[in-house]
Amino acid sequence: MRLIAIDIGNSLINIGFIKEKNLSVFNIDTLPIRTPEEYEIIFRGFLKKLEEKTAIGVIISSVIPGHAIILGEILKDIVEVEPLFVTHKINTGLKFNIQNPEELGSDRIANAVAAHELYKCPVAALDFGTASTISVVGRDATFMGGAILPGIRLMNESLARGTAQLSEVSIAPPLSALGKDTKSCIQSGLFYGTAGAVEGILNEIEKEIGYDLKLVSTGGYGGLIVKYFKRDVELVPHLTLEGLKILYMRNKDA
């Protein structure tokens, strides 16, 4: 297998090249949007660096409307294969017990698919990026829903915009929950606050569904935030790309 998997997020575009069991990852900023010619140079450079000339498959997940189509056309010209775009309508291996599944982010679909495939049990995929999202797969491979809250960076920026005396701080783990100056107080709020909020939501979800969930963390801040959880959380840095690989394999002959 030689697969290009692309996860277009609000902040970063993660580009994965999957060759058998090996995964090579490269990322670029989502904004500013580049010209088609610039994207073509980036993708060709990525393949050249890997000493690969082509791929047999392309799969794209995007939370930016229209962006997936642009990159899909560029990759179609480069590798001469039709891209697969992630939606709830493709073969995911999951059942969707939610309202308006067409509104579900394709990244959350990929996360849920990967988390369920990895652990084969009821699981919550926690993605800490621009937004912090919880995606729950219950018994019988059913996507049940979840929660969305502002991510660490958004909270940091919001405090600076919405207050007179607070500034953005470096997003670095606090030394303790008890901040001793303004900077460390904000950092405590960002990290302990996010972890506490997500754990609180998960506790309520588990009460509602009547059983416990395995927890898996991913996203740009996923590795930083897990140490502030009281519960055990497995870290899978490239969970979304792993999900895209699984989705491609389930749909490649469709």
What class has domain 2-85? alpha beta
Element holding 2 (H helix, E strand):
strand 2-8
Tokens 């997936």 found at: 68
How far apart (Å, rounded) are the C-alpha atoms in residues 246 and 240? 10
Q: Are strands 131-137 and 123-128 parallel, antiparallel or unpaired?
A: antiparallel
User: Which residue positions in the chain have pLDDT lower than 50?
Assistant: none
Identify whether the C-beta of residue 221 lies closer than 8 Å to the C-beta of residue 129.
Answer: yes
Looking at residue 254, its pLDDT comes to 66
Tokens of 114: 């990967």
Q: Could you give the residue numbers annotated as active site?
A: 107
Domain boundaries, the chain: 2-85, 95-243
Per the CB < 8 A criterion, the answer to whether 7 and 13 are in contact is: yes
Residue type, 16: G
In Å, how far are 66, 114, 131, 146 from 85, measured between CA atoms?
Answer: 12, 16, 22, 22
CATH class entry, domain 95-243: alpha beta
Length of the chain: 254
Beta carbons of 216 and 232 less than 8 angstroms apart: no
Single-letter amino acid, residue 111: N
Note whether 2-85 and 95-243 share their fold.
yes
